Structure 1
Amino acid sequence: MTYPEIKRFHSNMLESITSHASQSPVYQDLETISDIARLSQLPLTTSTQIQNSFDRLGVEKVLLAPIARFWYTSGSTGKPKNVYYGKRDLDDIATGFFQLLYLCGARPWNNAWVVTAAGGETLFGLVVEKYGLDGTISPLAGEMDMIKALRHASRLHKIDIIVTTTWLYLLINKIAKEPKEFERLVETEVKKKVKIPVFSTIVTKYLLRGINYTRLGGSLQNAKIGFSHAEALSPYLAKIREAYPNLEMHDVFGAAEQWVQAIQVSPEKDWLSFFLRYSIPEIAPPEEVIKGKEDRNYRVKGVPWYEWKKGLKGELILTRPNECLPLVRYPTGDLIEVMDPAFSFEVNLERGKMKITLPAIKALGRAADSVDFAGADESGNFLGFKVYSRQVSDALMTIRNVRWWELYHVKGSPGKFVFLIIPENNVSDETAFKDELLRSLVNMFQEFTAAAQARAFLVGGTAAMEDQKNYLELMITRPTAYELIDTEIKQRIKEGRSVGQLKPKRIFVVDSDEALSTLTRKKMEA
């Protein structure tokens, strides 16, 4: 469809959504509108508002259709949240999801290995059930489920497609290439639970039975298509390409509230094409979204997709149909940047090539996981500069020996950024390692550097400019510190968090150097 055709399609979709939604107590007094240009006249609908209706009235009285399935997410704060879907929704999801996979090169006769959090197996299960795809789906609901996943995958005669998060691609490759190290880690975990040495050895051997590392490694090397989700692909892409030489990677952007929003169909660009058939997207400034969340009478002026311009940044707001409960102007908490408002690419179909034009975006991170310096002197002398987790990952994860990073914004006048780095291996030359890190970070922060030094020069001349170079600091710890991260990931698995929420928080704001020392002490002493 052309953009004018999509606008008409969205206007019809909006009329259907608002008419259906108005029958639920969540959307009491919601106006039915049939013109997408009037979308900003409607209030935001937050997850808190929906959950309050569930708590007050009961789920059955709020939903508009029988529940066929629900996906559970603990949310970024750990507060439980369910998203409900009806029978018709599930069929739409299966059809739409497979269409997107097909555009990226997946075919019904391919063998797929899907590694996902508990609940995610049902999403891919819809596609498997409807189209009869071969392969295995491995849900990670507990500490030992990775062992089961490796066992089942190593039994496959081939793996054409892999679907999992970026960091699991690297972990799985490491296990296949260094099985002895993996088995030592498993034995260590078993010994924590089984105190008798002889029994712990028996239990370890039993758990690891049936894993064919050689076959698994060969299958991984021959895999053709990979789909990553829950975390930006770009920072890990070089390492993934090195580990999987024949794999064409595609990034996927979605959530429990909207199964897939955008996908990287064309590997030519590090961009995600936003598919407009399934939802109506807007972008709004995060500070405006906060006002809309706090006051339902406040109307947030969002920028609809057809008015997007290159470089536009903000929080993604979605309106989408749903048999059980539509979402009307739902703040997703995802920060995105428009890379090209009308990006064209070609896809190979059975009958030839087809050209598609869609908005192209980049995911910047979660609204709760960014450092905003817009407030005057609230966070130090940062001149309205904003730092996103995606920017930091792009700068640091391309460096070979970086396994984990955390950013601490220490308030002050001026404030400073302190990066804590957990390396993959012991650092033999810390000075050279820090120099490499700083070069990459300074390049990322060049916009801030120019503004900060210009202001310093105006206030205090050349000497003051030199002082501004101290806004970046590095703390390098040891590889063993990652055990603290691993422990928190396991705890999040036990809590039932989605794959996208298994990794701990990376960005923190602290009031002083003393607070920084307290927060980082365990990792620095590990």
Structure 2
Amino acid sequence: MTRLPHRIPILPVLANVATARSRDRARPERIAELQARLLTQLVRHAAATVPHYREVYDPAIVAEFQGPQDLSRLPLLDRATVNALGPSGGLLAAGHTADSTRMASTSGSTGHPATFYYSEQDLSYLRATFLWDLLACGMRPWDRVGYFRVYGFRKHRLERLGLAGNVHVDTSKSIAEQADAVLAGRPTILWGFPSMIAAVGAELRRRGVRYPHARVIVFAGESTLIGGRTEALEYFGATAHETYASVEAYTIARTCSRGNMHLRSGDVVVEVIRDDGSVALADGVGEIVVTRLHAEANPLIRYRLGDRVEITPNDCDCGTSHMPILRSVLGRVEDRIVTLDGVLRNGNFIASLIYPLSREGKLLRIQMVQERPGELRLLAVATDGAEAEVERQLRAAIEPAASQFDLDVAMVDTIAPEPNGKIRLVKRL
């Protein structure tokens, strides 16, 4: 039986960092060639060695497959299918088992967590992309990275030399305990849920504690209002970056020096299922579908992440990335609210009316709660002393939706996160 290393093997990761960097900065023509080659290899590998794909793929389509333009000829894969199949049910490639691979599960914020498996070969590259993300965001070898997440990362050998230290801030614990973890670990880079980082900053401010150590905050794992970002950045005095990533695909997009979030097209092929049902490659508004190009053990081809996004062609002059830009994550596909007439609408319909208010920095967090069709209660957190002003602005902002919902606004001190530490945009009770 294959023995998995107890600590992260660091040499394969370091060897792959240069590759990750070059692909992140490659020109469009190079990315097109790379995607065509790696995607064709992946599809044929999956069709030949993975029972599920062998069953659902048409051999003629696989034989003719030449790249991203042919993806729409293949069936989609969703979380329900992943859960139904399981590791022994047909999604692991021949030669791989649950015992010979590393397991990782989604956070379960939708109530339906899923588990995925990675070979050490997969991980040696994926870890390199993650390290490159940190380096591109300004990490120096002696930085300590505070990860805001439920489960901590395994240790690596360089930590014994005081390099790339790992500080775990468990988001399943109370804000006070998370603040204690930050004070004890003294991370210089904060990475994770925006709402949790902002809440920890607020807790330290409440205690009268000044935290001078953070240089960079990498927001990840959930979308946040600009006010919430501002709250965190003002307290910690840090530079901001943002990533869009998932357990299934690792990093899908990351901000550049101009603040635009470019797709990581050298590692992930992105499709968008538009609202009219058409499918586009990395362009438009709709449901995002991803295919990770490095997936030896557990290929996920045309996987529905469950998010709605807006992607546009690249118009950024940063000079480091030339890929399309992820303008916004519009919420979960499941974030549907029901109007008085029984029509399903995405929560972003309301959120888009509210987001402009957050630019002033007084509106920090929101959540929409629907207990019955047609009724919608908006929970909002504002900076101290601005509650009345923010409530007045919110009521005016959502007035265009008054004919479709019985609306109410409630100013609250906090919005309770889910067990994984995230704050959901929409909760239907």
Distance in 2 (alpha carbons) for counterparts of 1:275 and 1:27: 25
Query: Residue 21 of structure 2 aligns with which residue?
Result: none
Q: CA deviation at 1:61?
A: 7.8
**Does residue 116 of the first structure (1) align with residue 143 of the second (2)?**
no
Question: What whole-Å deviation, never above 9, does each CA across 1:469-521 have from its counterpart, x for those lacking one?
Answer: 79673333554xx4xx53xx4xx53xxx4x4xx3356254xxxxxxxxxx6xx
| Unpaired runs of at least 5, structure 1 | 180-212, 289-300, 347-353, 449-467, 509-518, 520-526
Distance in 2 (alpha carbons) for counterparts of 1:114 and 1:358: 27
| Structure 1 residue corresponding to 2:216, chosen from 225, 228, 244 | 225
Q: CA deviation at 1:8?
A: 1.6
| Structure 1 residue corresponding to 2:335, chosen from 366, 369, 386 | 369
- Asked if the contact 2:354–2:397 (Cα under 8 Å) also holds between the matched residues in 1, the reply is no
Query: Residue 174 of structure 1 aligns with which residue?
Result: 202
Counterparts in 2 of 1:372 and 1:106: CA distance versus 1, 3 Å: farther
Q: Tell me the amino acid that sits aligned with residue 211 of structure 2.
A: G
- Asked if the contact 1:372–1:386 (Cα under 8 Å) also holds between the matched residues in 2, the reply is no
Question: What whole-Å deviation, never above 9, does each CA across 1:154-208 have from its counterpart, x for those lacking one?
Answer: 245x6431112111222111222223xxxxxxxxxxxxxxxxxxxxxxxxxxxxx
SS of 2:265's equivalent in the other structure is coil
**Does residue 103 of the first structure (1) align with residue 136 of the second (2)?**
yes
SS of 1:273's equivalent in the other structure is strand
**Does residue 54 of the first structure (1) align with residue 86 of the second (2)?**
yes
Counterparts in 2 of 1:358 and 1:19: CA distance versus 1, 3 Å: same
| Structure 1 residue corresponding to 2:253, chosen from 262, 265, 269 | 262
| Structure 2 residue corresponding to 1:153, chosen from 182, 194, 204 | 182
Distance in 2 (alpha carbons) for counterparts of 1:234 and 1:404: 8
Q: CA deviation at 1:334?
A: 1.0
Q: Tell me the amino acid that sits aligned with residue 503 of structure 1.
A: I
Q: CA deviation at 1:423?
A: 4.5
Counterparts in 2 of 1:229 and 1:410: CA distance versus 1, 3 Å: same
Distance in 1 (alpha carbons) for counterparts of 2:148 and 2:87: 33
- Asked if the contact 2:331–2:425 (Cα under 8 Å) also holds between the matched residues in 1, the reply is no
**TM alignment of 1:428-447, pairs within 5 A:** 430=388, 432-441=389-398
Structure-2-length-normalised TM-score: 0.77
Distance in 1 (alpha carbons) for counterparts of 2:54 and 2:253: 31
Q: Tell me the amino acid that sits aligned with residue 24 of structure 1.
A: V
Counterparts in 2 of 1:476 and 1:378: CA distance versus 1, 3 Å: closer
| Structure 1 residue corresponding to 2:165, chosen from 135, 159, 164 | 135
| Unpaired runs of at least 5, structure 2 | 1-25
**TM alignment of 1:384-463, pairs within 5 A:** 387-388=348-349, 391=352, 394-395=355-356, 397=358, 400=362, 403-408=365-370, 418-423=376-381, 430=388, 432-441=389-398
Distance in 1 (alpha carbons) for counterparts of 2:299 and 2:279: 19
Counterparts in 2 of 1:283 and 1:176: CA distance versus 1, 3 Å: same
Q: Tell me the amino acid that sits aligned with residue 316 of structure 2.
A: S
Q: Tell me the amino acid that sits aligned with residue 82 of structure 1.
A: T
Distance in 2 (alpha carbons) for counterparts of 1:393 and 1:126: 43
SS of 2:348's equivalent in the other structure is strand
Distance in 1 (alpha carbons) for counterparts of 2:67 and 2:386: 63
Residue correspondences, number: 392
Q: CA deviation at 1:106?
A: 1.8
**Stretch of structure 1 that moved more, 62-71 or 354-363:** 62-71
Q: CA deviation at 1:81?
A: 1.7
**TM alignment of 1:314-329, pairs within 5 A:** 314-320=286-292, 321-329=294-302
Distance in 2 (alpha carbons) for counterparts of 1:475 and 1:313: 28
Q: Output the aligned Cα RMSD.
A: 3.7
Q: CA deviation at 1:327?
A: 0.9
Q: Tell me the amino acid that sits aligned with residue 355 of structure 2.
A: D
Distance in 2 (alpha carbons) for counterparts of 1:283 and 1:128: 40
Distance in 1 (alpha carbons) for counterparts of 2:385 and 2:32: 55
Identity percentage over the alignment? Answer: 18
Distance in 1 (alpha carbons) for counterparts of 2:404 and 2:38: 53
Distance in 2 (alpha carbons) for counterparts of 1:85 and 1:470: 46
Distance in 1 (alpha carbons) for counterparts of 2:325 and 2:122: 26
**Does residue 273 of the first structure (1) align with residue 193 of the second (2)?**
no
Q: CA deviation at 1:410?
A: 7.0
| Structure 1 residue corresponding to 2:316, chosen from 344, 351, 354 | 344
Distance in 1 (alpha carbons) for counterparts of 2:161 and 2:44: 33
| Structure 1 residue corresponding to 2:51, chosen from 25, 46, 65 | 25
Distance in 1 (alpha carbons) for counterparts of 2:51 and 2:290: 20
**Of Structure 1 and Structure 2, which has the larger fraction of its residues in helix?**
1
Question: What whole-Å deviation, never above 9, does each CA across 1:383-440 have from its counterpart, x for those lacking one?
Answer: x8973575366246556266543254975xxx6x74433545898985x554222344
Counterparts in 2 of 1:2 and 1:68: CA distance versus 1, 3 Å: same
SS of 2:256's equivalent in the other structure is coil
